[in-house]
């Protein structure tokens, strides 16, 4: 079924990241225009415009019961923002060159980021400081993800391998792959059993996390797949990329359940609402869009 967006929210340049608040009443979007916007839902009214980063915003994430927003930027820093007043709380420098990706831990107390400097930084978000630097990649790091239990970090990039890190020991414990093309996106299933990866091709690969064995591949896109995310119940996998489409696929079969059309250029990020009833997307066309998936059930 083809669905169209219910909201189109605009920036002055490419939008790289989106995230829903836990209660679904707010959406955050981060852009190449160096601004973060906080939108009220379902109206789409802008509540805050957060400025302070000096380069493009690559990731935004609600934290601490939606009272705080965590952001990461190409300017090599993470920042936290007070959403009661729309003000900057803290700035966390650490990387040597462009920071390209960030993922918060499930409890929000930590985060991990990756960079062109080939390193990961594990952050103590509570105390606003780097906790450890993880080295092992031999090329650019482009994507990171925490396992749902918070015990492991997965990272990927241009060295074609998914590297698995133990959070407690802060050491690499194994590798998954290699992929034939640079890895662009990583997502754990909610139960932690499957790790999905997208690459600079049409292919999405689903790996058994425990064994590191390839479970299945999806090849439903017509362009490079940039981002992917499991639904809250794990039954579906949403993915988007250079074909301007968001595909919602059955996680077990790979069958396309819904096609989301509306963006006019590459899609960089996807976020599910906590209930799974809505999806938000970020794209190069300078828009973030919100999609109501309950339309398909009527």
Domain 2-297 has CATH 3.40.50.2000: no
Q: Are 1 and 252 in contact (CB under 8 A)?
A: no
Closest CA to 36 of 288, 268, 229: 288
Count of all residues that appear for the chain in the document = 298
Pairing state between β 194-199 and 46-51? unpaired
How do residues 13-25 score in pLDDT, each as one tens digit? 999 999 999 999 9
- Reference 103, options 17, 34, 14; nearest CA is 17
74 pLDDT more than 50: yes
Mean pLDDT of 178-185: 95
Encode pLDDT of 143-167 as tens digits.
Answer: 999 999 999 999 999 999 999 999 9
Whether 298 shows a pLDDT value over 60: the answer reads: no
pLDDT for 33-46, tens place per residue? Answer: 999 999 999 999 99
Domain residue spans of the chain: 2-297
The strand pairing partners of 195, in sequence order, are 188, 207
Task: Give the percent of the chain with pLDDT over 70.
Answer: 98
Checking if the pLDDT of 234 tops 80, the result is yes
């Amino acid at each position: 079924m083809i669905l169209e967006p219910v909201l189109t929210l605009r920036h002055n340049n490419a939008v790289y990241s989106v995230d829903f608040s836990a209660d679904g009443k707010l959406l955050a979007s981060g852009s190449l225009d160096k601004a973060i916007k906080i939108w009220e839902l379902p109206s789409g009214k802008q509540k805050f415009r957060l400025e302070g980063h000096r380069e493009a915003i690559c990731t935004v994430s609600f934290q601490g019961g939606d009272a705080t927003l965590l952001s990461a930027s190409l300017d090599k820093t993470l920042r936290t923002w007070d959403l009661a007043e729309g003000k900057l709380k803290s700035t966390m420098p650490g990387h040597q060159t462009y920071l390209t990706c960030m993922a918060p831990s499930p409890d929000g107390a930590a985060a991990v980021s990756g960079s062109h400097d080939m390193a990961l930084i594990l952050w103590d978000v509570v105390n606003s400081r780097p906790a450890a630097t993880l080295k092992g990649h031999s090329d650019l790091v482009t994507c990171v993800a925490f396992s749902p239990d918070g015990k492991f970090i997965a990272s990927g990039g241009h060295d074609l391998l998914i590297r698995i890190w133990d959070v407690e020991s802060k050491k690499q414990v194994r590798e998954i792959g290699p992929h034939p093309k640079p890895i662009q996106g990583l997502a754990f299933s909610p139960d932690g059993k499957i790790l999905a990866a997208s690459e600079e091709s049409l292919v999405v690969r689903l790996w058994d996390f425990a064994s590191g064995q390839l479970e299945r591949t999806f090849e439903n896109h017509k362009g490079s797949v940039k981002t992917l995310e499991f639904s809250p119940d794990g039954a579906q996998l949403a993915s988007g990329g250079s074909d301007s489409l968001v595909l919602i696929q059955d996680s077990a079969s790979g069958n396309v359940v819904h096609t989301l059309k509306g963006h006019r250029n590459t899609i960089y990020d996807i976020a599910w609402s906590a209930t799974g009833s809505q999806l938000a997307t970020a794209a190069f066309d300078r828009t973030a869009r919100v999609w109501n998936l309950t339309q398909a059930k009527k």
